[in-house]
Amino acid sequence: MVVLLSAALAALAQQLKDFSTPTPLPSGSTLIVNFLSWGERSTDEGNPANRLAMRLRALELPGVYVETVGHAKHGDVLSFIKAATGRDTKGRCLAEGCREVRLIFYGSGDGSLDLLKTAHELKPLGLHVALAVQVSSEGACGGVIPANVARAAAICLDTNWARHHQQIRAEVPTQTQILANLRLSSEGRWLDISVATPPQKPVASPDVEMRIDPLMWNHVEDFILEELHRAGIPGAPAPPPH
């Protein structure tokens, strides 16, 4: 039994080697996870998702930790979240007890799918996600947000509304608040699809032109800042009005 436990802990340590946040976290902490798309690296400082992670770290808010995970690494981040919340590899509370940690997820492209999958896998563990913000690629918008996510927002990088009108929706509407389903409007602003008007001409390569749009990433940042401010974290700035 001791040998098996040692082997399990060694395997967990290997999985967590790319994360700098100490585990387990103190109860009341906030963990923000940035899910990257295929081919993106956490070391790329020009990546807008990574730049947002850097800005969030630079705030140096007490008890707030920011991590970045590559595409198809949701198994690693699941193990990391278990460790951060005081759980073993099977999700059971350690002898010291489980920790209450506020989880905030954001991801773009393939990372938005990893984000959703991770949220689903946290559900049977009784772990909740305070906020999930998805930036979805052309043709991959929409989806069902699991009931363990309190608030969710989606930004769709697709201007062909006639063909792709998908929006995220809550698995249980009484448990999940859908904050917005943003699309690029005809006047060049990111608005909820309920009030936005389609661009006169679809963008030729939305994943290339729109994924780096600083105005779009401002919205992602504002959703996160609003959640931190709502949680009453000391020093958390209120997002600017739009």
Cβ contacts of residue 217 below 8 Å, gap of 6+?
48, 49, 51, 52
- The CATH number linked to 55 is 3.40.50
Q: Is residue 6 part of a domain?
A: no
Q: In whole angstroms, what is the distance from residue 217 CA to residue 71 CA?
A: 19
Query: How many beta carbons lie within 10 A of that of residue 184, not counting itself?
Result: 26
Provide, rounded to the nearest whole percent, the portion of the chain with pLDDT above 90: 61
The pLDDT of residue 7: 43
The pLDDT of residue 4: 42
Mean pLDDT in residue range 41-60: 91
Lowest mean pLDDT among 4-13, 48-57, 59-68, 192-201: 4-13
Per residue in 161-182, pLDDT tens? 756 678 999 999 999 999 999 9
Q: Is residue 13 part of a domain?
A: no
Higher-pLDDT residue of 206, 30: 30
With tokens 């999700």, the residue in question is 91
Q: In whole angstroms, what is the distance from residue 124 CA to residue 98 CA?
A: 15
Higher-pLDDT residue of 242, 23: 23
Q: Is residue 7 part of a domain?
A: no
Q: In whole angstroms, what is the distance from residue 85 CA to residue 97 CA?
A: 9
Q: Is residue 241 part of a domain?
A: no
Per residue in 73-95, pLDDT tens? 778 999 999 999 999 988 899 98
Per residue in 185-210, pLDDT tens? 888 899 999 998 888 776 665 556 68
The number of domains in the chain is: 1
Q: Is residue 65 part of a domain?
A: yes
Closest Cα to residue 228, out of 140, 106, 98? 106
The 3-state DSSP class for residue 157 equals coil
Closest Cα to residue 125, out of 90, 175, 74? 90
The pLDDT of residue 212: 86
Closest Cα to residue 159, out of 209, 106, 195? 209
pTM above 0.75, yes or no: yes
Single-letter amino acid code for the residue at 58: A
Q: State how far Cα 139 lies from the chain centre.
A: 20
**Mean pLDDT for the chain overall:** 87
For residue 181, what are the domain limits?
25-230
Residue 3: pLDDT band (50, 70, 90) is very low
Residue-wise burial string across 192-227, b where 16 or more C-beta atoms lie within 10 A, e elsewhere = bbeebebbeebbeebbeebbebeebbebbbbbbbbb
Q: In whole angstroms, what is the distance from residue 77 CA to residue 85 CA?
A: 12
Helices (H) and strands (E) in the chain, counts: 6, 9
Per residue in 90-143, pLDDT tens? 889 998 899 999 999 999 999 999 999 999 999 999 999 999 999 998 778 899
